[in-house]
Structure 1
Amino acid sequence: MSQRSADLRSGRYSEVGQVYLLTSVVNGRQPLFSNWRTGRYVVDEFRRAQQAGVADSLAWVVMPDHFHWLVTLKKGTLGMLIRRVKSASALTIMRAGCTPHRVWQKGYHDRAIRREEDLLAVARYIVANPLRAGLVKRVGDYPLWDAVWL
């Protein structure tokens, strides 16, 4: 079965040029990224995906037990993009000795952002995650986020 067939069977469709909000969760919701240095491994993979021309990052936050990533898909499928980021970051995290266990839960959540006017609201939601979680008093105090609108 082709990747496109598998994506369609799961109700998932990837469209190049479309903006998506992607969310993935750490296995068992463990706060693996409470250590921001470990979270930087995920950020490095977001940047590598952009450098490879697979996706353009618009906004992201790496929380202690999950990430949100607002991207424009440039080539391939969402499944390929997420597999790339999760597998490479997991390999780096395990090699660095940050955890001996599986890093990511299976799967991911995606939501297509269909209206241009929704982009800023979604980006604000993403970068305000640490505030809502009570991790910081100001967004700028949290080390694992970015947005192109800065």
Structure 2
Amino acid sequence: MVRRPRLYLPNCPLHIIQRGNNRDACFRDDSDYRAYLHFMREAAERYGVSIHAFVLMTNHVHILATPSTENSVSRMMQSIGRRYVQYFNHIYSRTGTLWEGRYKSTLVDTDNYLLTVYRYIELNPVRAGMVEHAADYPWSSYPHNAAGVEIQMLTPHDSYIALGKTSELRASAYRKLSQTHIPDMDIEAIRLATNKSWVLGSEKFIEQFERRVGIAGKTAEHGGDRKSKEYKNQRL
């Protein structure tokens, strides 16, 4: 089967997932999480990637990021993957692969999905039953986005900045937003688009993408225009 190409556009956000091989743990100790974050910060700076949100789970990683060039994210992920595998194999006296093949990613419609993806990523530990509140999980961007805790590698997206005139107001607005339920349809749409490398967005956004790059943004059988009457009825 021919693999679907990853979809990139400079300055368009991407939701990225990378999983451990066979769903095995890729983080065993606090020092492992810190090492990954160190490698991510250096690679993002080197290759021109703005990191907006992230969570490091036991056996996988979620990142929301905006690349400055078409190759920025692929170079960043290659750098992180290579350096972290070398670190992990050395620390734990192992050999071989750590990751489950290629990372997966989807372009994110800023107007319709971006802040939902922020929340989807940072609330992962809550959905997994690891903590009761996102603030209790130490390996995500939630403390920065919701409480103003400094995490140097993070760059707020314009959609996040629009939440308030000051950092305090933005954090307060984001905390309130994070307390609202993410509809099951949105969760399913995020998962499906990311796993299949589709564009995550409205029909209009997908059509604009297809006209610009000449590549299908999704397969024909998948719907989900968030502005359609049918979609809105399903959310009620």
Q: 1 or 2 for the larger relative contact order (CA 8 Å, sep ≥6)? A: 1
Q: Which amino acid aligns with 2:41?
A: R
Q: Which amino acid aligns with 2:133?
A: R
Task: From 103, 110, 118, give the equivalent of 2:105.
Answer: 110
State the SS of the aligned residue for 1:94. helix
Bigger mean CA deviation after superposition, 129-138 or 12-21: 12-21
Q: Which runs of 5+ in 2 are unaligned?
A: 147-236
Q: Which amino acid aligns with 2:115?
A: L
Which aligned pairs between 1:1-150 and structure 2 lie closer than 5 A? 10-77=4-71, 78-97=73-92, 99-147=94-142, 149-150=145-146
- Give TM-score, length-normalised by structure 1: 0.83
CA gap of 1:62–1:10, structure 2 versus 1, over 3 A, is same
Give 1 or 2 for the bigger CA radius of gyration.
2
Bigger mean CA deviation after superposition, 118-127 or 138-147: 138-147
Aligned length: 142
State the SS of the aligned residue for 2:11. coil
CA gap of 1:33–1:98, structure 2 versus 1, over 3 A, is farther
Separation of aligned partners in 1, 2:136 and 2:105: 27
- Give TM-score, length-normalised by structure 2: 0.55
- Shift of residue 10 of structure 1? 3.6
Structure that is richer in strand per residue: 1
CA contact (8 A) 2:54 2:140 kept: yes
Separation of aligned partners in 2, 1:67 and 1:117: 23
Separation of aligned partners in 2, 1:116 and 1:46: 27
Q: Which runs of 5+ in 1 are unaligned?
A: 1-8
Separation of aligned partners in 1, 2:136 and 2:70: 35
Separation of aligned partners in 1, 2:6 and 2:91: 33
CA contact (8 A) 2:18 2:103 kept: yes
- Aligned-residue sequence identity (percent) comes to 23
Bigger mean CA deviation after superposition, 62-71 or 103-112: 103-112
State the SS of the aligned residue for 2:111. coil
Structure that is richer in helix per residue: 2
Instruction: Indicate the RMSD between aligned Cα atoms, in angstroms.
Output: 2.0
